[in-house]
Structure 1
Amino acid sequence: MVSLILRFKKKGMLRFLSNLETIKAIERTLRRARLPMVFSKGFHPMPKFTFLDAMPTGVVNLSLYLKVILERKIDDVEERINEVALNDLKVHGHWYIDIDINESVKYYRFRIIVPEDLDFENLFVEKKGRRIKVKDRMEDVRKVKLKD
């Protein structure tokens, strides 16, 4: 058995899939690609795979990581998956390595597009009766100009 880490990109209209719908879409894709996946034992066997934490619905995810256990290595794994994958849910990297993907990812990086006139320095949200300054909850905030 070997551990395979896959990096998918989920974009376009598929960004509106919930976490469970995304997992099902990827599972169906891996089955259609006829990967030699290892399945759990018992009454209702399921492929053995692990996802990172769920992203909010509606967010484009350019680094959706998945760890799947295979019976053996496959040389053309990306080609086999992308041949049967949905257009906006393709593999863009793979590694045969046995790591805990949840332990390996230290942070997420988001790009948020807001109107130019938004005063981000003084933006607050109400959460459980407390006023929280949005900028204080973020590691790195940069203003950039959008190109037309």
Structure 2
Amino acid sequence: ETVTAIERTIRRSKLPVTYTQGFHPRVKIGYSQAVPTGVASFAHYVFLDTETEVSDPVKALNFSSCFTLKAQKAWYIPSSYTRIDNLIDSYRLSLTLPKERYIPDSYDSELKVSKKTKGGYKEFRAGDVFKDLTVTPLRTVYMVKYSQPIDSMVSAEEILKIFSKDGTASYEGVFIFVEEALVKGKRTSDILDEIGGIRNVWSQ
């Protein structure tokens, strides 16, 4: 649904994007690695090939977008960068957990977590999946942040079960979202700022 909404927004925006050849031309577009289902994301990157530059592509996109889908930033980058995946190897996530049901101190990096695959389940060591984990106690909640490699993306339920007082995962009172994409520990947006240089385009 997200992909459909994005492509519809691009068409409505009238940006000078390039299309595939054939009877049913489609926008030439690339997407960053998908995040787990049910997780909000501020780091959904879309790669487009345009015929000419536009002064404010973010404004054009947001004028045509739906209420829940908004572009935050845009860059013009050299054509030698053909895949956004080359600029992302992990995501930085943020979890807000109610104190009455979760105990982050129970985290053990040696615990096993699993990911459902076509052939069954694949196991990972928690410390290899939830990296650079930090916990900040607030008045009624814990703020948990961690980085997760895209080649070992598991459901947020796995970390919820580890932190849960009763060992079960519940999304009640929990808020989880992707803050940013990273590559080798550096924010993808910072790298794009450097690549785009003064041609970077920003719109509030």
TM-score calculated relative to the size of structure 1 = 0.74
1:124 Cα offset (Å): 4.0
User: For residues 146 and 133 of structure 1, do their structure 2 counterparts lie closer, same or farther at Cα, with a shift above 3 Å needed?
Assistant: farther
The match for 2:87 is 104
Cα 1:62–1:146 change in 2 (3 A) is farther
Q: Which residue of 83, 95, 104 corresponds with 2:63?
A: 83
Report the equivalent of 1:47: 27
- The separation in 2 between residues aligned to 1:62 and 1:143, in whole angstroms, is 21
1:57 aligns with 2:37: yes
List runs of 5+ in structure 2 lacking aligned partners: 141-204
Q: Does 1:116 align with 2:102?
A: yes
Pair 121,37 (structure 1): closer, same or farther in 2 beyond 3 Å: same
> Shift of residue 112 of structure 1?
2.6
CA distance in 1, matches of 2:30, 2:40: 20
Superposition map of 1:128-143 within 5 A: 133-143=125-135
Alignment RMSD: 2.4
CA contact (8 A) 1:120 1:135 kept: no
Residue 77 of structure 1: CA displacement? Answer: 1.0
User: CA 1:121 to 1:74, structure 2 compared with 1: closer, same or farther past 3 Å?
Assistant: same
* Cα distance change on mapping 1:93 and 1:137 into 2, 3 Å: same
More off after superposition, 36-45 vs 137-146: 137-146
- Higher normalized contact order (CA 8 Å, seq sep 6+, divided by chain length): 1
Aligned residue in 2 for 1:37: 17
Cα deviations by residue, 1:32-61 (Å, 9 ceiling, x for unpaired): 111111110012110001001111111111
Q: How many corresponding residue pairs?
A: 128
Indicate the residue corresponding to 1:125 in structure 2: 113
TM-score (norm 2): 0.55
Segment of structure 1 superposing worse, 77-86 or 134-143: 134-143
Amino acid at match of 1:112: L
Detail structure 1 runs of 4+ shifted over 4 Å in the superposition: 126-133
Identity of paired residues, percent?
Answer: 30
